[in-house]
Amino acid sequence: MRALTGLPPQAGIGLAIALLVCTVVVDIASGPAGLPLRAVLVALSGAGEATDRFIVVQFRLPVALMAVVVGACLGLAGATMQTVLDNPLASPFTMGLAAAAGVGASVAMLFGGPASGLFGTAAGAAIACLIASGLIYTLGRARGMGQAVMTLTGITLMFFFQSIQALLQYSASQESLQRIVHWLFGDLQRATWPGVAMVAIVFLFGLKHLMLDAWRLTALRLGDARAQALGVPVASLRQKALAVVSLLTAAAVCLVGTIAFIGLVAPHIARGVVGEDHRLLLPMSAICGAALLSAGSVLAKSIIPGIVLPISVVTALIGVPFLLFLLLRGDHSGT
């Protein structure tokens, strides 16, 4: 297939994977403990001092891998949302899904009792995400809803879920409030191996199901009428894709909190390199999301030496200028 940007798509994907590997290595090698690279490599091989091994294997490695899987989930979810909603500004964050997941997770933490552990929080986030997706889908089917109105609808939903979140916090006990606020900050440092495994499983599940629909999602980019004429079941494809997006968002958000802009920015970078053939766009968006969040994780540890900033602060610093660039360049065609 001919390259769309001068760089052949395969070379672009290769370059993105190489960048991802580099950021993951730097992410594992950096941290407040100030371990030298040699000690990190020795610890990774299973040798070296027990303290170093503990820091690297039980702390840095899960954080680095969590950045990869969460970034991949958000990139994949963002690309899918931008296609099915035909909106270049759609992402789990801008369309209110992340806020909904936050509400779901908070409800699980407050009222879940014994179910408020890892999977209870994830289930709460997933249910709230599915409800928000259903709302977006239903409103998106309303006659005459254009991209601008849909974006405003997403922002409205985000405010709605944020106000429910505020209400929950207002009525929460001191202990629960502290837990929720800490969670909402968006923090990779709470990563654990079971959490990484759970997000990785949801990501692989979502990727598999979306890749099976890759041709149909590409056809959707030619407009509903043409996709329908080519035999694409447009309505059921949208429902299925949004359900998968909900799971991806819930898995990403329920463990590390709300992380903005990765789902918005990654698909645009991927589209610029591989075009809109979803066989390439979906995995490339996941790789770009993973690389961006991994780079964000490195930045979070590097901006103020000795202190790890919440990842959501760093991604906002990257995402806000990009969002402004998208809005100001005047081309909202999604390409």
**Are 242 and 78 a contacting pair, CB within 8 Å?**
no
CA dihedral (194, 33, 183, 239) in degrees, to 10, reads -50
Would you say 2 or 329 has its CB closer to other proteins? 2
SS3 state of residue 235:
helix
Q: What does the alpha-carbon distance between residue 166 and residue 231 come to, in Å, rounded to a whole number?
A: 45
Q: Tell me the backbone φ, ψ of residue 5, rounded to 5 degrees.
A: -125, 15
Query: Which of residues 241 and 300 has its CB atom nearest to other proteins in the complex?
Result: 241
Non-local (6+) Cβ contacts of 52 within 8 A are 35, 39, 40, 42, 43
User: How far apart are alpha carbons 249 and 243 in whole angstroms?
Assistant: 10
- The closest alpha carbon to 285, from 1, 77, 131, belongs to 77
Indicate the residue among 168 and 265 with the shorter CB distance to other proteins: 265
- Interface with other proteins (CB under 8 A): 1-2, 4, 86, 211, 214-216, 218-219, 221-223, 225-226, 228-232, 271, 275-277, 279, 333-335
| Eight-class DSSP state of 237 | H
Please report how close the Cβ of residue 324 comes to other proteins at its closest, in angstroms: 22
CA distance 66 to 298: 13
Q: How far is the CB of 280 from other proteins (least distance, A)?
A: 10
CB 316 → other proteins: shortest distance, Å? 27
Nearest residue (CB) to other proteins, 131 versus 211:
211
Q: Closer to other proteins at the Cβ: 60 or 268? A: 268
Q: How far is the CB of 221 from other proteins (least distance, A)?
A: 4
Please report how close the Cβ of residue 265 comes to other proteins at its closest, in angstroms: 17
- Among the listed residues 154, 47, 39, the one whose alpha carbon sits nearest the alpha carbon of residue 92: 154
Token pair 């890892």 is at which residue?
118
199 versus 269: smaller Cβ distance to other proteins:
269
As measured in angstroms, the least distance from the Cβ of 287 to other proteins is 17
How many residues are given for the chain?
Answer: 335
